[in-house]
Amino acid sequence: MVDQEAANALAECVARIRQLEEENAHLRQAAKTFGDLAERLKHALDIELERAADGMLEETGRTSIPDGAANPHDEVTVQSQPPVRLVK
């Protein structure tokens, strides 16, 4: 009786380990896919920022961005405004 309970407990543990290993493999693949997507998006954003900076230079006829001007690679803080209430 004790041997059967131990064998059942062991079988449950082995099944759970296999399940967790499979789940881990899926999570690792999802993480890799997500990381690849993030890299592609970052690359596309870098290209767009370069184009925007180049466009800014072309519009102004300058050959460089002046000191103190917004650098496309700087962080931008966006502050939300209170909602606008329309009065009829």
| Contact yes or no for 53/65 (Cβ under 8 A) | yes
Q: pTM for the full model?
A: 0.52
Nearest to 53, CA basis, from 44, 63, 40: 63
Sign of the dihedral through C-alpha 21, 27, 29, 31: negative
DSSP string, 2-19: HHHHHHHHHHHHHHHHHH
Question: pLDDT digits over 1-60, tens only?
Answer: 779 999 999 999 999 999 999 999 999 999 999 999 999 999 999 999 888 888 776 776
User: Is 71 a residue whose pLDDT tops 60?
Assistant: no
pLDDT of residue 73: 54
